[in-house]
Structure 1
Amino acid sequence: MSRRNYEQVCALACALDVVGERWTLMIARELIFGPRRYSDLLRQLPGLGTNLLAQRLKDLEQAELIAQRRLPPPAASAVYELSAKGRESLLPIIRAMTDLGVTYLQYPPPSGHFVPVSSTMGALSKFFQREQATGFFCRVEFHTDSDVFQCVIANGVMTELGFGSLAQPDLVLEGSTDIFMGLVVGYESVAAAMANGQLNITHGDAATAEAFFALFRSPHHPMVQLNERTIIPPTNS
């Protein structure tokens, strides 16, 4: 597959030659929170065909932005992960583009729009209000149909956010990425999600869940008032 490039003596053009193709940064997004299998990437990037994914991964490997390795038994599967160069180079780009993109996001999302697990995890990181979490300690494990991820908050600091289960969670939640995103952003409530059968707490209680999600309110985000679903426009500050 031939690649297009700008053929310009320009650092920006050269960077776009490497990461400017469609899906490239989306693939990098999927690797932010830990290694992922090829099948994980396909599942979290609907619309991306397997041949194009293979090509994009090859391009990123050649650019030394990602690496492939094999997990030890019993998993013994191949995974892709960001290289040190990839994390150093791509994370600032993704953060900056996220800051721009969030001003255009619509909440609640349009019907049928896919909510990637990486975006839900990104929302946990982006909208965490650490000043409200002073004195708060909670180890939360999230279960979706296809993934398990964790978030640990200890006295105002998010100490862990990544894939995998916790040895001793305080709270274990089962639901879809749609529901988890809504709880983080604020257009869903724990009580309503539980009443509708969209959220299941298999360990811990609703009060702990409510206290946890209350830590993710941001005045700079297009918040949605609970129960009213009325979008509040973002502030200019």
Structure 2
Amino acid sequence: MSRSYGQHCGLARALDVVGDRWNLLIVRQLLMAPARYRELLDGLPGVATNLLADRLRDLETAGVVERRLAEEGNVIVYALTPWGAELREPIESLIRWSTPLMARGPGGDHFRPEWLVVALPALLRDKPAARRSSTVGIAVDGQLLHVQATPSGIEVSLHDGRDLDAVVRADASIVLGLAAGVLTLDDTLGLVEIDGDDAAVRAVFNPRGANVEGSVHR
């Protein structure tokens, strides 16, 4: 790397690789899926095109990112290497650590619903395991996410058309508050719209209360 703290310390050497501005946000985007350069540029509002190119080159040189052919078409995409994908754990830890910083809401900051694909598993990971399996859609700003809750954990992706037990519609700050445990579903009456099985939603956001039966429309 062109810049180094010059310290024989694991944290310093990790920061030599990913400590520059935008590096971890590039990794966040690639944790969702491999992406074309244009897709990365669109998913990182505020980054200059030449700076993104520089950061991708540095991350590729360090062995965090690689270029490969897309599965469909003769197009180059950027993807995380297996070593780069191991950054998911520290990134999720930072997301959980950020909860007090998120409490003030978005203000004038950019927000893209797909960022919840990384944030929600991080925030939901330490909740008690769901007692039942359920599949819930989270609708935020016109984007529908697919949340699968099982006794073995939580998986989040963009919705791919699979059947859902329920759909939750709410502002991003409410969804993040529910996932972080700062809010409960009972706290958000009137702020959250649930279409379908209420118990399925509780299996995601309130696992201990997931035995509630019945379908509701709020």
Mark yes or no: TM-score above 0.5. Answer: yes
Tell me which of 78, 81, 84 is aligned to 2:79. Answer: 81
* CA deviations over 1:156-200 (Å, ceiling 9, x no partner): 233532345143332345666445334434388364244xxxxxx
* CA deviations over 1:10-68 (Å, ceiling 9, x no partner): 55433322211111112112222332333333333222112111111111111111222
Tell me which of 165, 171, 178 is aligned to 2:166. Answer: 171
1:68 paired residue number? 67
Tell me which of 176, 183, 199 is aligned to 1:181. Answer: 176
SS of aligned partner of 1:205: strand
1:138 paired residue number? 134
Tell me which of 117, 124, 127 is aligned to 2:123. Answer: 127
Asked whether the 8 Å contact 2:165–2:196 carries over to 1, the reply is: no
State the TM-score, normalizing by the size of structure 2: 0.71
- Work out the number of aligned pairs and report it: 203
User: Quick one: which amino acid aligns to residue 202 of structure 2?
Assistant: A
Asked whether the 8 Å contact 2:166–2:197 carries over to 1, the reply is: no
SS of aligned partner of 1:151: strand
* CA deviations over 1:109-132 (Å, ceiling 9, x no partner): 142233344652344223326536
* Residues in 1 aligned to 2:80 and 2:143: alpha-carbon distance in whole angstroms: 19
* Residues in 2 aligned to 1:29 and 1:63: alpha-carbon distance in whole angstroms: 17
Structure 1, gaps ≥5 residues long: 195-200, 218-237
Asked whether the 8 Å contact 1:124–1:216 carries over to 2, the reply is: no
* Residues in 2 aligned to 1:163 and 1:110: alpha-carbon distance in whole angstroms: 22
SS of aligned partner of 1:21: coil
State the TM-score, normalizing by the size of structure 1: 0.66
Matches within 5 A, 1:25-174: 25-73=24-72, 77-88=75-86, 90-102=87-99, 104-117=100-113, 119-128=115-124, 130-131=127-128, 133-134=130-131, 136-144=132-140, 148-154=144-150, 156-173=151-168
2:212 paired residue number? none
Aligned-pair identity in percent equals 31
Shift in CA distance, 69/169, structure 1 to aligned 2, threshold 3 Å: farther
Superposition RMSD in Å: 3.5
Larger mean Cα displacement after TM superposition, 35-44 or 77-86: 35-44
Q: Between Structure 1 and Structure 2, which shows a larger proportion of helix residues? A: 2
SS of aligned partner of 1:48: coil
* Residues in 1 aligned to 2:62 and 2:135: alpha-carbon distance in whole angstroms: 37
Shift in CA distance, 182/39, structure 1 to aligned 2, threshold 3 Å: farther
SS of aligned partner of 2:134: strand
* Residues in 1 aligned to 2:207 and 2:104: alpha-carbon distance in whole angstroms: 16
